[in-house]
Amino acid sequence: MILKDQVAIVTGAGSGIGRAGAMIMAREGARIAILDRDADGAAMTAALIAAEGGDAEASAIDVTDDDRLTAAIDAIHHRHGRIDILHNHAGLQVEGNLEDVSLDGFDRSWELNVRSHLVAARAAMPHMRRAGRGVILNTSSSSGILYDRDMVAYATTKHAVIAMTRQIAGDYGRYGIRVNALCPGWVDTPFNEPFIRQIGGRTAIEDYIRRRVPLGRWADVEEIAEPILFLVSSRSSYVTGQILVCDGGETIA
């Protein structure tokens, strides 16, 4: 098992890509600490991991609460004596162009998609630095490297995640800590509902994906879980400050 006895924190692991990533890490021997504001979803992920013989704990927490997030990460380190992996995955889509987007929605997007990643990394970093090792993976999006129609809040925050990832990687590589970003494309989960609503419904999004994505289809969450495992494990031991795009070719089309 490539992650045997490692401790991994995953935010937003109560569903979708976050759940799939947590589960694949658990299968490879990691102890998973799930942080998600959806208590039922977090508990379900922990139960699914346990059913496969893995080790997981779930905490219902809003990761935009700086103090609670920091305290939760410190508590995980206190319980387990180590933090090897932090996957900042929790995120939010808010639709709208410059004139239409809700400013409150923009602020919520920034707090969840960017600030919570920074605060979590800031909390985990002293523990990783003292250990002389650690991996931080930030979920960005293909929207972080291309134009995303009428999604100014989402695209802005996901571009910012990439900049933050590269900056932290450069600053902390000398401590043995790797920091990378994952950019998923179209993955068929409820997360995409704001864009689907904006584009005109399910038929419209299916047509959009057929036209825009060279592979011509959605990704399954398991197809994103495998790149997650690569980036958080020793399989990518000489990879830091990089952006792995998993988008069926959309960004080259």
pLDDT digits (tens, 9 = 90+) for 26-67: 999 999 999 999 999 999 999 999 999 999 999 999 999 999
Domain ranges in the chain? 7-252
Kindly give the parts of the chain with pLDDT less than 50: none
CA 177 to chain centre: 18
Q: List phi, psi (to 5°) of 37.
A: -70, -20
Task: Please tell me the predicted confidence (pLDDT) of residue 201.
Answer: 83
- What's the predicted TM-score (pTM) here? 0.94
pLDDT digits (tens, 9 = 90+) for 190-219: 777 877 787 788 888 888 889 989 999 999
243, two tokens: 């952006």
**CA dist., res. 50 & res. 26, Å (int):** 9
Task: Please tell me the predicted confidence (pLDDT) of residue 245.
Answer: 97
* DSSP per-residue codes, 98-142: TTTS-HHHHHHHHIIIIIHHHHHHHHHHHHHHHHT-EEEEEE--G
Alpha helices by DSSP H, 112-219: 116-131, 152-172, 193-199, 202-212
Q: Which of 147, 154, 175, 238 is catalytic?
A: 154
Task: Please tell me the predicted confidence (pLDDT) of residue 138.
Answer: 98
Average confidence score pLDDT of the chain: 95
Task: Please tell me the predicted confidence (pLDDT) of residue 42.
Answer: 98
**CATH tag, 7-252:** 3.40.50.720
Task: Please tell me the predicted confidence (pLDDT) of residue 50.
Answer: 98
**CA dist., res. 55 & res. 229, Å (int):** 17
Q: Please confirm, yes or no, whether 154 is among the known catalytic residues.
A: yes
> Which of 181, 200, 186 minimizes the C-alpha distance to 239?
181
